[in-house]
Chain A
Amino acid sequence: MLGREAASREGGGGVPPSPPAVATVDAVRVRGLSLLRNGRTVLALADWSVPVNGRCLIAGPSGSGKTSLLQILAGILPPTTGTVEIAGREITSMPEAARDRFRGRTIGFVFQTLHLVRALSVLDNLRLAAFVVGERRSDAELHQLLRAVGLEDRARARPFELSQGEAQRVAIARALVNRPRLLLADEPTSALDDANAQRIAELLVARTAEIEAALVVATHDARLSPWFEQKLELGRSS
C-alpha cells in the first residue's frame, strides 16, 4: 500500500519536523469537485489543496457543505464530479473496500459527539483501529498515545465512564493509531466548554505536527480560528 510506504518513509511520531521528501505531493488535493443533491449544488470546489503538515480550517454556516467536504475527503461520500487525492493517491476511483482500508491507514477522523465504540474499553477502542486495517500495535504504543492525550490512567475505562471531553481525547488518540497522513475533524470542539475546547485544539495541532500529518478541521467554532494558518470559507450555495 502506497499510503503505508509514504507513512514509513516519513518516519513515526516523535521525529522532529523536516522538509517533506516529495514536496510536490500535497496531503489533500482536490480538482473540479462538485456535489449535487436533489439537483442542487451542495458543494463546489474547483481547486484546493492542503500541504503536508498543513493546517486548514473549513468555515461556513451550517448547510454550507463542511461535513460533506470532509466525508468526500475521507472517501465516505462520493463527489458528483471531480477528483480527490490524499497523500498522492486518488481515492475517488478506488474500489470501496480498498478505499475503506486506505482510509483506515491514511486518514484519521474525529467527530463532534460520535466518539467511541461503546462495547469496548478505551484501550480496545485503540486496538480496534489497528485491527480493522489488519495492523498490530503494541500496548506500549497505545499507552503512549493515551499518555499524549492525558488519559493513560483511563485505558481500562468504558466509554460511558468518560466525560465528553475525555471521550473526545480518546477519539483523537484513536484517530492517530495508524499514524495517518491526514487528520479530519468535524466540529471537534463544538460540544465542549472553553477549557476543553482549548485542550482539544492544542492536542489536534500538537499531535498532527508531531507525526507530520495535515489537519483539516470543519467548524463554525470561532475559538479554533487562531490555530490555523489556512482557511477555506464555504458559502451557502444555492
Chain B
Amino acid sequence: MNIVRLALAYLRYRLATTSLNILLLVFGVATIATVVIVAHQIRERVSREIAGIDLVVGAEGSPLQLILAAVFQIDAPTGNIPLAEAEFLRRHPLVASAVPIAMGDSVSGFRIIGTEPALLSERNARLARGRLWERAMEAVLGAQVARATGLDVGASFVGVHGLHGGLAHAEHPYTVVGVLAPTGTVLDRLVFTSLESVWLVHERPRPSVARGAPAEHEHEEHHEHEEHPASSEKRISREGAEITALFVRYRSPLAAVQLPRLVNERPNLQAASPALEAARLLAILGFGLDTLRLFGVVVTAVAALSVLVALAHALEERRADIAIMRVLGATRGLVVRELLLEALLLGAAGLVLGLALAHLSVELLARSFRQVHEAGITGGTIAPEELWLVPAVLALGVLAALFPAVRAYRLDLASTLARA
C-alpha cells in the first residue's frame, strides 16, 4: 500500500466517473494539441519555404497570389513579365541575388520550373546524385518527383501541358541529369530545368503563355519551329523572353524600403514580400486555428469542471472513508495529498492519452489526405508549444482538486464520526 495505489484504488472504484473525466480531458487536450501541432508545422513549413527570398517580383495582380504561385506553387501565377523588365534588379546595388523562374509544364503532376542553378544554391538544396542542368532540355528532379515517378539520372520524359493530363509535348523530351536530396520544401515536388527549355517547349502558340514566346519568333513562325525542333535551341534568345517571377535577396535592410517602391513604379510589375504575404496567409489560417483552439480550451475547461464536480461529489460520499483514514492515523496532510494525487493522475492520463490521440490523428490526417501530407504535416514531431500543455493540464487538475481538498482538510473528524 502506498499513496499512489490508494489514489488508483479510488479512481478504479469510481470507474465510470473516472473514465468520463479522462475522456473529456483527452478530447480537450487532443483538440488543442492537434491545432498546436498543425499550426506549428505550417508555420515551420512556411518559414522554410520563404527562407532566402526577400522579395518576389512578378506580374501585376494579387501579391498573395503571386507568392502562392511562385513560392508555394499552390496557385496559378498572376501572369508573366518580360525578363528584360526585371533585369535592372539584377544589377541593382541593393540586390544580393535575383533568380528568375518561368513556370513550365508538368510531368506526372509535378511542375517543371525553368530557372537558374542559383535558385537551388540560394535555398540550400543539394544534389543527391547526378549534376545540375547545363543545356536546354536537361532536368533535375526534386526528391519526391524522383521517388514518385521512378525517373532517375539518364531517364527521359516529356512535359505535359498544364498540371494534370494536358497535351503532351512529345517533340521536346527532357533528359534527367540530376536528382536533389530532400529539402522538406516545395522544391522536393518540382522539376528544374533551364529557362531556355521552358521557352523552347512553349514556342507553340498557347493562349496562356502566348506572351511568353521570344520576341524574334512571332507566333506565325511557330510551325516552323515545330518542324525543326533541333535547330530552335540555338535560336532561343533571352531578349524579349518572359518569366513568371524573379526571386530577390537583399544585400542590406535598406533594400526593403527602396526596392518594392522601385518595382511597383514600373508598369506591369509588382513586388510582393513573402514574409508579409505569408504572415497574411497565416493570419487568415490562424483565425480558423484560433477558433479550433478555443474550442479545445473550452472542452478542457469543461473537463476540469467535471473533475471538480466529480471530486466534490466523491468527497461527500467519502467523508466516512476519510474519517476512517484519519482514525487509523492519517494526518490531514496525507488525506489532502491523496486527493490531489487523484486529480494529478486524472490530469496525467488525460494529458498522455490526449497528446497521443493528437499525434495519431495528425498522422492519420496526413496519410489520408495527399494535400495534408504534401504540406509536410506529420504526427511524428513534437511542437514546442505542445509542452505547455503538460504544466497547464496538470495545474488545471490540481486546481480542480483544490476546492474538494480544502474541504477534506477541514473535515471535522469528531462530528463526522458522531454522525456516521
CA–CA, A116 and B323, complex, Å? 10
Expressed in whole angstroms, the minimum distance between the Cβ of A4 and any Cβ of chain B is 12
Stretch at the interface among A46-54, A127-135, A146-154, A225-233: A127-135
A67 within 8 Å of B by Cβ?
A: yes
Q: Main SS of chain B's interface residues?
A: helix
Interface residues of A in 57-101 (CB under 8 A from B): 67-68, 71, 74, 76-77, 96-97, 100-101
Q: Is the CB–CB distance between A127 and B1 below 8 Å?
A: yes
CB proximity of B375 to chain A, nearest CB, Å: 49
Are the C-beta atoms of B330 and A104 separated by less than 8 Å?
yes
Chain-A contact segment, one of B2-10, B142-150, B173-181, B210-218 = B2-10
**B414 sits at the interface (CB 8 A):** yes
Residue numbers in B under 8 Å from A181 (CB-CB): none
Q: Are B325 and A119 in contact (CB under 8 A)?
A: no
Q: Are A133 and B329 in contact (CB under 8 A)?
A: yes
With A and B bound together, what is the CA distance between A174 and B324 in angstroms?
A: 11
Contact yes or no, A119 B13, CB < 8 A: yes
Residue in B9, B331, B332, B334 whose CB lies within 8 Å of A120: B9
Asked if B333 and A128 sit within 8 Å, CB to CB, the answer is no
Do residues A100 and B6 form an inter-chain contact, with CB atoms below 8 A?
no
B326 within 8 Å of A (CB atoms): yes
**Given contacts A76-B414, A77-B414, A100-B331, A116 and B10 within 8 Å (CB-CB):** no
Q: In whole angstroms, what is the CA distance A100 to B325 when docked?
A: 10
Closest Cβ of chain A to B400, distance in Å, is 19
Interface hits, B329-388 → A, CB 8 Å: 329-334
Question: A165-194, CB under 8 A of B: which get 1 and which 0?
Answer: 000000000100010000000000000000
Q: For residue A121, which residue of chain B has the nearest CB?
A: B9
Q: Are A104 and B417 in contact (CB under 8 A)?
A: no
Bound-complex Cα distance A115 to B328 (A):
11
CB nearest to B330 among chain A residues: A132
Tell which of B326, B328, B418 touches A67, judged by Cβ atoms closer than 8 Å: B418
Contacts of A71 in B (CB 8 A): 414, 417-418
* B331 near A101: Cβ-Cβ < 8 Å: yes
What 1/0 flags go to A101-128 for Cβ under 8 Å of B? Answer: 1111100010101111111100010011
Q: Which listed residue, A100, A114, A118, A124, touches B330 by the CB 8 Å rule?
A: A100
Q: Measured between C-beta atoms, what is the minimum distance from A40 to chain B in Å?
A: 16
A111 x B414 contact (CB < 8 A): no
* Residues in A whose Cβ lies below 8 Å from that of B327: 74, 76, 103, 109
Q: Which residues of B contact A119 (CB under 8 A)?
A: 9-10, 12-14, 321
Nearest-Cβ distance from residue A132 to partner chain B, whole angstroms: 4
B420 close to chain A: CB less than 8 A: yes
Contact status B417-A128, CB under 8 Å: no
Q: In the bound complex, do residue A104 and residue B329 qualify as a contact, i.e. CB atoms below 8 Å apart?
A: yes
Chain B minimum-CB-distance residue to A98? B331
Interface size on B, residues (CB 8 A): 29
Q: How far is the CB of B16 from chain A (nearest CB, A)?
A: 14
Cβ A117 vs Cβ B330 within 8 A: no
Chain B residues 162 to 220 lying within 8 A of chain A, measured CB to CB, are none
Chain B 251-291, CB within 8 Å of chain A: the 1/0 string? Answer: 00000000000000000000000000000000000000000
Residue of A76, A104, A129 with most partner-chain B CB within 10 A: A76
Residue contact B320 to A105, C-beta cutoff 8 Å: no
Contact indicator A114/B324 (Cβ below 8 Å): yes
Task: Evaluate contact between B324 and A131: CB separation under 8 angstroms.
Answer: no
Q: What chain B residues lie within 8 Å of A77 (beta carbons)?
A: 413-414
Contacts of B330 in A (CB 8 A): 100, 104, 132
Q: How far is the CB of B418 from chain A (nearest CB, A)?
A: 6
Q: State how many angstroms separate the Cβ of B88 from the closest Cβ of chain A.
A: 81
Chain A: minimal CB distance from B7 (Å) = 10
A130, B10: Cβ atoms closer than 8 Å: no
> Which residues of the partner chain B approach A117 to less than 8 Å between Cβ atoms?
321, 324-325
Choose one: B323, B329, B420; the contact of A103 (CB below 8 Å). B329
Alpha-carbon separation in the docked complex, A110 to B209 (Å): 95
List residues of chain B with CB within 8 A of the CB of A120.
Answer: 6, 9
Asked whether, in the complex, the Cβ of A97 is within 8 Å of the Cβ of B9, the reply is no
Cβ-neighbour of B333 out of A97, A115, A124, A133 (below 8 A): A97
B13 near A118: Cβ-Cβ < 8 Å: yes
Q: Which of A113, A117, A120, A124 has the most CB of B within 10 A?
A: A117
Chain B's nearest CB lies how many Å from the CB of A177? 9
Residue contact B420 to A111, C-beta cutoff 8 Å = yes
| Given pairs A113-B420, A124-B5, 5 additional interface contacts (CB within 8 A) | A67-B418, A96-B331, A118-B13, A128-B1, A128-B6
Enumerate 27 A-B pairs (CB-CB under 8 Å) in ascending A order.
A67-B417, A71-B414, A71-B417, A74-B327, A76-B326, A76-B414, A77-B413, A96-B331, A100-B326, A100-B329, A100-B330, A103-B329, A109-B328, A115-B324, A117-B324, A117-B325, A119-B9, A120-B9, A124-B5, A124-B9, A128-B325, A129-B329, A131-B2, A131-B6, A132-B325, A133-B328, A133-B329
List residues of chain B with CB under 8 Å of any chain A CB. 1-3, 5-6, 9-10, 12-14, 320-321, 323-334, 413-414, 417-418, 420
Question: Which residues of chain A have a CB within 8 Å of any CB of chain B?
Answer: 67-68, 71, 74, 76-77, 96-97, 100-105, 109, 111, 113-120, 124, 127-133, 174, 178
Question: Which 4 pairs show the lowest CB-CB distances between chains A and B?
Answer: A104-B329, A119-B13, A127-B1, A132-B330
